[in-house]
Structure 1
Amino acid sequence: MHIVYISDGKAGHRSQALGLYKAMQRQSETNVTFEEVSLEKLPVVRLFFSFGKNQHIAIKNTPDYIFGVGSHTQLRVLLLGKVFPEAKTVILMKPNLPFAWFNHVIIPAHDGVPEKCNVILTQGALNPIINERRHQKKRILIALGGSSKRHQWNEQKVLSAIQQIVENNHDADIVLTTSRRTPSEFLPTLKEAPFSSALQIFPVEETPQGWIFEEMQKAEVVWVTEDSVSMIYEALTAGCKVGVIEIDRVKDDRITHLLDQLIEQCTEQQVLGLLNLSLNEATRVAQLLLKT
């Protein structure tokens, strides 16, 4: 079985496609291969002229599935499906084109689309993480984001939350990391706080690729600032208990409403609540695709 992924070059989109591919690889009884092709190698005009030929100069092997994530990939996925009519087209987002034009449309439930026909709803975006069951008792990871189109960084709220985490977990190993969006002045301020001596601090600039996903496999609990929705779902998929650190909101929309719903599901009420949900969405979706 061969999968062709049409890439727009965005890491977050690639993560979703890889998550589904790896889940299909785990579930399939046959060998599953993956080929990534950039948008630039699939000009629309050439795709039109290749209809029904079952071959294209940019595609090495005949696909059984064609994946796309991102608005710029949708038309290419549709047209490449005409080039390889036996392949199933899969869009991992709410498409701008009619849903019925694709074989499968995989959409996070918070987009508000009803699940019907070829639509599969998921809790959050898919990712390549699995629960490796290597979590260490009393090991905590704190992952900080920053300002976004929905959120405004609030230094005092974040400092207060970190202090509470430290004070509630005196005997825990607590690892803290930042993101590219974390204000540069925050770590110097944090290091001046008396409770910072209880933290092992790893700035994002000093961590190798894949470091945070490895830390999720080791942590029993992960605390994430609420701007990082994808990381909340990644930590849940890794099998961690997850806490949400609230910061200021610039606007309310379907994503912030989703966050409110998640926070309401906290099952361990401490000073700060923890989510304890078991997610394995990529595997569930892979099973549905392979059955059809």
Structure 2
Amino acid sequence: MESLVSDICIISDGKPGHVNQSLGLVDALRRAAPQLSCTEHTILSWRAIFALIAARVTGKQHAFSHVKLVVGTGRRTHLSLLALQWIVGCKAVVLMRPSLPSAWFSAAIIPEHDQPPELPNTLATLGALNRMQPGTKQVDQGLILVGGPSKHFDWSDDHIWQQIDSLLEDTTQQWLLTTSRRTPESFLQRAADYPQLCVMPFENTSRHWLPEQLASASACWVTEDSISMVYEALSAGCETGVFELPIKSGGSRVTRGLARLKASMRVMTLTQRQRSTDAPLAEADRAAAWIMKKGWL
């Protein structure tokens, strides 16, 4: 296996959302220290782990010989992170509440709504990390992000369209609406009733389209089932609002996290349009500064 001549390695489970979180931290680390290099590697097989052990015992070079830090998100990455930490000696950073004890990892960066343990190696963040950065804002440009049915909320096309209707009546901005993989096919049937609304279905967008739109949009309204998009809008420096949905019985960590955002006035609702003047979220940069202070890189 060819050596990875990089300071940092992202262990990927192949899920774009998980890789995006890891890249959010790596991007921030490289903003703090531009000389750092990074590569990506798939989850290690048992054969690869045993090969690393053999290389360590015999003193041979291996693929991770030069790697100082490994980063991973998603339960399937945990064994690989720990194997590399224990066998290779690099530092392992997990970006979620892990399925294994947090104390086993060099560092755990965990969203506060997941109730992270109070440990010296653990950092609580406001939401999951992401790659968003504020850009030059267009005052008259607004973005609407529509999710779909989820395990946390009872979805209703009509309920969301009623709120979109109220938003369009109360504002003079130009609004661009996009959907997601979870958006029901029935949802866009109502879009023709709003000629002032520009619609871009998610299947017509590229991977760079949404970050570019968030960077320039002055305001963003998100259906509250899309919690990751709420935090990305906040990180991009948008005035962020949520279209509310009925919470399923019992609530969840996601709904509790949204409740805290509303209570702190970081996000608006149609019935509470006042918001705080907090600066854009910069949790990835805060996490990177925390890592850099440890002297691992």
TM (normalized to structure 1)? 0.90
Q: Residue 22 of structure 2 corresponds to which residue in structure 1?
A: 17
Q: In structure 2, do the counterparts of structure 1 residues 275 and 202 end up closer, same or farther at CA, with 3 Å as the change threshold?
A: farther
Q: Residue 283 of structure 1 corresponds to which residue in structure 2?
A: 285
1:22 is displaced (CA, Å) by 0.8
1:273 aligns with 2:276: no
Please tell me the residue identity of whatever aligns with 1:273.
R
Please tell me the residue identity of whatever aligns with 2:222.
V
Matches within 5 A, 1:162-173: 162-169=164-171, 171-173=172-174
Q: In structure 2, do the counterparts of structure 1 residues 272 and 201 end up closer, same or farther at CA, with 3 Å as the change threshold?
A: farther
Matches within 5 A, 1:60-99: 62-85=66-89, 87-99=90-102
Q: In structure 2, do the counterparts of structure 1 residues 225 and 254 end up closer, same or farther at CA, with 3 Å as the change threshold?
A: same
Alpha-carbon displacement from aligned partner over 1:2-28 (angstroms, at most 9, x marks no partner): 101111001111001111111010101
Unaligned residue ranges in structure 1 (runs of 5+):
none
Please tell me the residue identity of whatever aligns with 2:247.
R
1:250 is displaced (CA, Å) by 2.6
1:190 aligns with 2:191: yes
Alpha-carbon displacement from aligned partner over 1:188-242 (angstroms, at most 9, x marks no partner): 1232x3xx11111111111122211111111111000001001000000000110
Q: Residue 40 of structure 2 corresponds to which residue in structure 1?
A: 36
| Residue from 134, 139, 142 that aligns with 2:141 | 139
1:111 aligns with 2:114: yes
TM (normalized to structure 2)? 0.89
Q: Distance in 1 between matches of 2:274 and 2:137?
A: 16
1:269 is displaced (CA, Å) by 7.4
SS for the counterpart of 2:139 is: coil
Q: Distance in 2 between matches of 1:284 and 1:2?
A: 20
Q: In structure 2, do the counterparts of structure 1 residues 180 and 110 end up closer, same or farther at CA, with 3 Å as the change threshold?
A: same
Matches within 5 A, 1:171-210: 171-191=172-192, 193=193, 196-210=194-208
Decide whether the 8 Å contact of 2:242 with 2:269 is kept in 1.
no
Decide whether the 8 Å contact of 2:69 with 2:93 is kept in 1.
yes
Q: Residue 159 of structure 2 corresponds to which residue in structure 1?
A: 157
Q: Distance in 2 between matches of 1:164 and 1:125?
A: 30
Q: Name the Cα RMSD after superposition.
A: 2.0
SS for the counterpart of 2:138 is: coil
Alpha-carbon displacement from aligned partner over 1:29-82 (angstroms, at most 9, x marks no partner): x6111111111566443344344647434x4x6111011111111111111112
Decide whether the 8 Å contact of 2:10 with 2:38 is kept in 1.
yes
Q: Residue 105 of structure 2 corresponds to which residue in structure 1?
A: 102
Please tell me the residue identity of whatever aligns with 2:190.
T
SS for the counterpart of 1:137 is: strand
1:262 aligns with 2:261: yes
Please tell me the residue identity of whatever aligns with 2:15.
K
Decide whether the 8 Å contact of 2:241 with 2:269 is kept in 1.
no
1:259 is displaced (CA, Å) by 1.1
Q: Residue 223 of structure 2 corresponds to which residue in structure 1?
A: 225
Please tell me the residue identity of whatever aligns with 1:77.
L
Q: Distance in 2 between matches of 1:54 and 1:33?
A: 23
Please tell me the residue identity of whatever aligns with 1:65.
L
SS for the counterpart of 1:9 is: coil
Decide whether the 8 Å contact of 2:130 with 2:232 is kept in 1.
yes
Decide whether the 8 Å contact of 1:51 with 1:82 is kept in 2.
no
Q: Residue 236 of structure 1 corresponds to which residue in structure 2?
A: 234
1:149 is displaced (CA, Å) by 1.6
